[in-house]
Amino acid sequence: MTQTIRRKVPRGSPIFPNRPRISPQDKARRRAENEAFVQRCRAIFWQVYPELVTNYYNWSIMIEPDSGDYFIDPDPEIAFQKARQKHPKARILEKRLNETGTCGRL
C-alpha cells in the first residue's frame, strides 16, 4: 500500500511554488482577448438566430468567428465534431438556439 506524505504549507504561501506566476498585464490581456472573441461570436449568433430558432429550437450551435461558419445539431458532440472537421485548430464557442443562448443551468 502506498503511504501518503502530508506536507504542511504555511498560510499565504503558494501551494505550487514552481509554477510560474501570471502577471496582471497578461491576465488583463487574456481577459480582453476572450471578451473580443465572445463579442464576435455573439454578433454571428444574433445574426442567424431569428432564421434558425423556429426550425431548430434548443439545438446546439458551434460558432467559429474568424470565418463566420456555424454548425448546428441536436447533439452538441456531433456539432463540435462537424466544427473540428472544418476548423481543426480554431477556437469555437458553443451556444443553444433558445431564448437566452445558454447551454446549461446558471
Render pLDDT for 46-71 as a digit per residue (tens, 0 to 9): 999 999 999 999 999 999 999 999 99
Give the span between the Cα atoms of 77 and 75, in whole angstroms: 6
Give the span between the Cα atoms of 90 and 21, in whole angstroms: 26
Record the pTM: 0.76
Q: Is residue 78 domain-resident?
A: yes
pLDDT band at 19 (very low <50, low <70, confident <90, very high): confident
Q: Is residue 81 domain-resident?
A: yes
Q: Is residue 64 domain-resident?
A: yes
Q: Return the residue matching grid coordinates 500500500.
A: 1
Q: Is residue 3 domain-resident?
A: no
Domain range enclosing 82: 27-96
Number of domains in the chain: 1
Q: Is residue 46 domain-resident?
A: yes
Give the span between the Cα atoms of 38 and 21, in whole angstroms: 26
Q: Which has more confidence, 101 or 85? A: 85
Burial 63-76 (b: 16+ CB within 10 A, else e): bbbeeebbbbbeee
Q: Is residue 35 domain-resident?
A: yes
Q: Is residue 102 domain-resident?
A: no
Segment 5-32 mean pLDDT: 85
Of 94, 98, 66, nearest in space to 82 by CA: 94
